[in-house]
Amino acid sequence: MSNRYGNNLLRGRTAVAAVFVATLALSACGGDDASTGTEAGTDEVTLRFSWWGNDERARITQEALDAFEAEYPHISVDTEPLDFDGYFDRLATSVAAGNAPDVITLGGAYPREYGDRGVLLDLSTVAEQLPTDQIDEAALSNGFFSDVQYSIPTGVNTYAMVVNPEVFDAAGVPLPDDTSWTWDDFIDIAQEISENTPDDTYGAVDPTSADVMDLYSRQHTGAGLYTEDGEVAIAAETARDWWTMTKQMSESGATPSASLTAELAGQAAPEQTLMGRGLAGMQFDWSNQLTALRGASGADLQMLRAPGESHGVAPGMWLQASQSYAIYAESDHPEEAALLIDFLVNNAEAAAFIKADRGIPANGEVLEAITPELDEDTAAQADFIAAVSDEVNPDLIIGPTGSTETRLIVERLNDEVLFDRISPEEAGERLVREVTSAIE
């Protein structure tokens, strides 16, 4: 991994950091960049474009698509939006029926999973319509498998700790120094906040997720959830130690009870989380959720590095494409689909509508163009990514086929531990066994 991804990521992060530093120093910048792809044919074409998100994303996406259709009058776009929870089930159904959308929005391990199954187009076949030379290499690596570029990142994102300074103040607890804090500090701070605030307010939301366990494992062993060869890398002992810590936090009241954590697991919308309701001091989340969480809570939420980043054998945090665009391999209109993706990721006019809703733009020129237009919340995301981009772990490993089950396995085992139905040791052993089975 250190060759293909590591070197590229290092170069990519350096490039991203340079872009952020440069753009944040700009007081103004032109935004007249046009899409860079070469025009396909001029026959009337209708594309299907699937994505997930809320009403606000629907509004800005449609504005960008209106601009695309004005630039390419012979291409119409029918959108197929859905809530996140049902999106991938419907996509799987359409793929099985051989009727998937022309342009598909993906995330996490899905580009690799669908790419390996032959569902996605090799984007080198439409390179004329979809150039990638201005897109950050680290972000491109998220969609590059088996020497094939299967997807294009919509933007750069990172996973970190969101904190509510108002909850800290109410508890009389100072914000930690995120360049040096440890997991023990995290536990102590969460406990102190819970003890010094009303009963419905917690120091931290239960932190367990596949993403956080990946981060924690990297810090403690140097390996995340998977190996480069697509095997399970996390050790049962590492998972045991994690669940020993989080179970103790739940039992002490530093984090919510098992029943409340289970209830919250089915409420993914930011406004439904404890952080979104102003009832938690700390919560792990993706950087592009900051705007929604700030809006829901009405608080000036901040982002911090994860605990333990400066104390482990390796950094746990990483940069990742927040979402990716791919083209269905059986699309009747691959060149027009490529033009649409090119417009969405390489055109400043489209970015003026979308801004950082799908992550901080990975195209440096586009980012420069829209930086003066970023609102306070989005600028805070860009600031944070710029601050950590030279520190995060360069060894990005996307989960192999079947790894999309890992999130559900972790959630199920977490319930079992918190409800005291299995021990942390058994949970660790079952995690390795069940994930191994899922990816075989």
Digit-coded pLDDT (tens) for 133-190: 988 776 787 888 888 999 999 988 889 999 999 999 999 999 999 999 999 999 999 9
Q: Is the predicted pLDDT of residue 290 greater than 80, yes or no? A: yes
Rounded Cα gap, residues 236 and 427, in angstroms = 8
Task: Give, for 252, the enclosing helix (H) or strand (E).
Answer: helix 236-252
Report the percentage of the chain scoring pLDDT > 90.
65
Q: Is the pLDDT of residue 65 over 50?
A: yes
**187 and 144 in one domain?**
no
Residue 35 — very low, low, confident or very high, per pLDDT cuts 50/70/90?
low
Under DSSP, is residue 274 helix (H, G, I), strand (E, B) or coil? Answer: coil
Confidence at residue 91, expressed as pLDDT on a 0 to 100 scale:
95
- Whether residue 97 is contained in a domain is answered as yes
Helix axes 424-439, 236-252, angle to 10 degrees: 130
DSSP character at residue 328: B
Neighbouring CB atoms inside 10 A of 22's CB total 14
The count of domains in the chain is 2
- Residues 138 and 167 reside in one and the same domain: no
And the tokens for 401? Answer: 């086929």
Q: Which of 280, 67, 56 is nearest to 189 (CA)?
A: 280
Q: Has residue 376 been placed in a domain?
A: yes
The CATH number linked to 356 is 3.40.190.10
Mean pLDDT score of the chain: 88
Contacts of residue 127, Cβ cutoff 8 Å, sequence gap at least 6: none
Distance CA 313, CA 218 (A): 8
User: Do 302 and 272 have their domain in common?
Assistant: yes
Q: Which helix (H) or strand (E) holds 431?
A: helix 424-439
**Residue 58 in domain:** yes
Taking only the tens place, the pLDDT of each residue in 221-244 is 999 999 978 899 999 999 999 999
12 part of a folded domain:
no
Question: Helix 210-221 to helix 406-418 angle, to the nearest 10 degrees?
Answer: 90
- Domain end (from 336, 354, 382): 382
> Average pLDDT, stretch 272-279?
95
For 87, 106, 107, the CA distances from 84, given in Å and listed in that order, are: 5, 11, 11
**And the tokens for 208?**
């367990």
By the 10 Å C-beta count (0-12 exposed, 13-18 middle, 19+ buried), 105 is classed as buried
89 found inside a domain: yes
**DSSP assignments along 110-124, one per residue:** HHHHHHHTT-B--GG
Is 343 a member of any domain?
yes
Please report whether residue 391 resides in a domain: no
**pLDDT at 28 > cutoff 50:** no
- Count other Cβ atoms within 10 Å, centred on residue 410: 24
Structure confidence by residue, pLDDT tens digits, 365-409: 898 888 888 889 988 988 898 788 778 876 777 788 888 899 999
Domain extent, residue 236, equals 158-318+397-439
In a domain? residue 169: yes
Q: Does one domain contain both 222 and 346? A: no
Residue 100 has pLDDT above 90, yes or no: yes
Residue 419 DSSP SS3: coil
Are 237 and 311 members of one domain?
A: yes
Whether residues 427 and 297 share a domain: the answer is yes
User: Is residue 328 domain-shared with residue 409, that is, in the same domain?
Assistant: no
Contacts of 296 (CB under 8 A, 6+ apart): 270, 271, 273, 276, 277
